[in-house]
Chains A and B, each alone.
Chain A
Amino acid sequence: MSAHAATADGKQLNYLNCEKGLWSWIMSIDHKRIGLMYLASILSFFVVGGVFALLVRAELFSHGKTLYGPDDYNVFFTLHGVIMIFLFIVPGIPATLGNFLLPLMIGAKDVIFPRLNRFTYWLYLFGAAIAFCAIFMRLDTGWTFYAPYSIQNRWAVVTATAAAFFLGFASILTGLNFLVTIHNMRAPGMTWGRLPLFVWTLYASAILQIVATPVIGITLLLLLLENTMGIGIFNPAAGGDPVLFEHLFWFYSHPVVYIMILPAMGVVSEIIPVFSKKPIFGYKALVYASVGIAAVSFLVWGHHMFVAGMSNLSRYIFSFLTFFVAVPTAVKVFNWVSTMYKGSISWDTPMLYAMAFVFLFLIAGTTGVHLATLGTDAHYHDTYFVVAHFHYTIQGGAVIGLFAGLHFWFPKMFGRMYNEKVAKFAWLFLFIGFNGTFIPQFILGMEGMPRRYYDYPIEFEPLHRISSIFAFINAAGYAMVLGNLFYAVFKGKKCEENPFHSLSLEWTTASPPIHDNFVQIPRVTTWTYGYGAEHAAEGEAVH
């Protein structure tokens, strides 16, 4: 195949049109197609999870019963959590943008194990199908499956844990594939010191996926065995310890936050230099910060159990280590801001998202410090303050990062451009809606509103109402974003190959890329981030 191979009617041949038909997608081992299939899947689940979130917010609009009863409420917030965490944001950026971009960014034709990649996708979908069975079985434990409530021989829990087991396995295999790919598939000259920061964050999160996920796998398997055979391990009646479940659960579920957030940080690190027309500030510091965050994240799980019975010494250690996470995170924020400093900033949509990310993640990080502090955590624990904090982390961080990346690499993926005006307008809705939803929740939390409650005292109603109204504005923002992008996939204006004048390797090949990514495996001779007036003006890569 040559690069400029064309179909009979003279169209340029690329990964989208080189093979036709549903079967060619189902059987595809092309990382770009698999990335797109992941994208379609996770965004669909995002919509479903979002609908459950709106149902929850709608019920909380008024004091007392608004729409439905408390049992339904338990089911809805559980499904919101399970779908958003396990089906949407854990595969999240790595499975979608990571799959699509990793080989392009390191100058490879594909990931190292393309067939494993295909298997992983279908395993993920299989897990998702089982998870949907749990939906109809009215799972109501919350996404954390805490024992002993979850061990009362409940088949919904068995189904959901089985689903999470398969989904976790898919996550492990993605991490494994990426890790080996980054080690062994880099193009000549793509040294570790030249690796794009997005790839570094994929690397760090791959390590987390590999090391942390097996622990949740076995924990959920124990829960499954507990429910089906009564092995007694988490059952207080048999001498088992439910708090042990919490320890094992959070040993995974704290690092998993970084599986979600690290790649988003990588996306932002790619976007900011391009739209500031300046080299990234402190490349090495950003790399060490990513690896540092990954390492420290294994040692802080105890902060979820400060009030669940823990020795004072453990409390001090976990609290101290949790504070420590703030250091590499702050290094990152400092570097992003320094990259923008005195840059010539253009306000394209990807940059708006990247800046929103920095702003929102700053709030997420600083409120995290409140929760790491033993004295304040005793007050905030299990309140809306925690809910708001992790939504700033996950939605304000990981989801905004995903959409930043989607807007940035959209022309790369489809060779088309979305409507910029609609995109900016949607961003505004999203930004205002998001903050309007969760700032009132911080206040509610400080005032003592516990999370997961169906009802609340009448004094809390005004803030709940504000939160609910803005939640719908937030949702409208997402609807606009998704509509705009979906429309542009088919009807968007054809655009130039590198509309944002990025210098990164993935933009040196055609947009959309050819099936083999590169005509010839490229030779990399310079650093990715050599932005400066002269290069950027030409919009040419300097590899």
Chain B
Amino acid sequence: MGHHESLPLGHTHFAEPEQVYHSAKFGMWVFLATEVHLFGALFCTFAVYRWRYFEDFQQFALSLNWRLGGLNTIVLLTSSYFMVRAVDAAQKGLNKKVNSFCNLTLLCALTFLVVKFFEYRAKLILHEPPIFPHSHIFYGLYFTMTGIHGLHVLLGMGAIWWLKMRAKREEFSVTYYTPVEVVGLYWHLVDVVWIYLFPLLYLLGGLA
């Protein structure tokens, strides 16, 4: 039974590595399906109120800074590119490269959050009186949707940080790179959600 025997009872190997790899990826896709439904309900809510308060939504969309939103779109797309490179490097077992591409992805994610911070500040602190709370539903939706998305960015950053640490310990190899792929999938979802949020919130009213 080889090295299995030395493991305590609770940690016997129950599945083949191949099985675990495919299952982890499948599991992540299933999880992404739940995320799509989570945001899907928000998008539905948005659609309902945009339909109902059409003029207001047009007008308030103009108050958002589409340049900053556009910048953030580019930043996130770039981060997804770096993430792909990290996955590619992991598949080749190049731990150093995984580490540096994780760093670049993290840098993009951080940039995104900093830009978002300035956008929020403009609405929450600099604006007199503050636009939120007790404001129009448009802002309720704007802050909820971008806030929950931002939370996903933060969680993704945590996961990428974890990858980076593992890459530093040289844990990935040609035969083992499952975590990088799985986190990569998650990170792309975070990106995709923003790609829908940006035009819905910033652009539907036209460009200011």
Contacts and interface: CB of A to CB of B under 8 A. Distances in A.
B53 interface: yes
B141 A114 contact: no
Interface of chain A, main secondary structure: helix
B55 to A, nearest CB: 13
A19 B34 contact: no
Given A239-B137, A248-B41, A113 B27 contact: yes
A34 to B, nearest CB: 11
A215 B40 CA distance: 8
Contacts of A108: 14-15
Contacts of A1: 9, 12
A177 B48 CA distance: 34
Contact of B41 (A110, A185, A210, A214): A214
Contacts of A179: 30
Given A27-B10, A233-B45, A185 B19 contact: yes
Contacts of A212: 37
Contact of A210 (B14, B34, B140, B143): B34
A240 B135 CA distance: 11
Most chain B CB within 10 A, of A1, A114, A179, A239, is at A239
A176 B10 contact: no
B68 to A, nearest CB: 22
Nearest to B140: A231
Nearest to A112: B23
B141 to A, nearest CB: 7
A176 B27 contact: yes
A95 interface: no
A55 to B, nearest CB: 35
B3 interface: no
B15 A112 contact: yes
A71 B45 CA distance: 33
A184 B9 contact: no
A214 B144 contact: no
Contacts of B53: 239
A30 B14 CA distance: 10
User: A interface, how many residues as a size bin?
Assistant: 35 or more
Given A108-B14, A112-B20, A239-B53, A231 B141 contact: yes
Interface in B1-42: 9-12, 14-15, 19-20, 22-23, 26-27, 30-31, 33-35, 37-42
Interface in A500-534: 515-516
Contact of A231 (B12, B34, B40, B143): B143
Interface in B38-93: 38-42, 44-45, 48-49, 52-53
A424 B41 CA distance: 47
Contacts of B44: 248
User: B interface, how many residues as a size bin?
Assistant: 35 or more
Interface of chain B, main secondary structure: helix
A104 to B, nearest CB: 13
A174 B71 CA distance: 39
Contact of A217 (B9, B27, B38): B38
A213 B41 contact: no
A109 B41 contact: no
Contacts of A129: none
Given A19-B10, A30-B10, A515-B9, A214 B34 contact: yes
A218 interface: yes
B12 A109 contact: yes
Contacts of A515: 9, 12
Contact of A214 (B14, B23, B38): B38
Nearest to B34: A214
B172 to A, nearest CB: 20
A97 B39 CA distance: 32
Contacts of A114: 14
A516 B12 contact: yes
Contact of A29 (B10, B45, B137): B10
Contact of A239 (B34, B136, B143): B136
Contacts of A238: 134, 136-137, 140
Contacts of B49: 233, 241
Interface stretch (A192-200, A222-230, A355-363): A222-230
Interface in B84-138: 132-137
A214 B37 contact: yes
Nearest to B27: A180
B41 A176 contact: no
A238 B56 CA distance: 13
Interface string A187-222: 000000000000000000000001111110111011
B137 A240 contact: yes
A28 B140 contact: no
Interface in A99-118: 108-110, 112-114
Given A180-B30, A516-B14, 20 more contacts: A24-B10, A30-B10, A109-B12, A109-B14, A110-B14, A172-B34, A176-B27, A180-B23, A180-B26, A180-B27, A184-B15, A210-B34, A211-B34, A215-B41, A229-B133, A231-B144, A233-B140, A240-B137, A241-B48, A241-B49
A-B pairs with the 4 shortest C-beta distances?
A231-B140, A214-B38, A109-B14, A214-B37
Interface of A: 1, 18-19, 24, 27-30, 108-110, 112-114, 172, 176-177, 179-180, 183-185, 210-215, 217-219, 221-222, 225, 229-233, 238-241, 244, 248, 251, 515-516
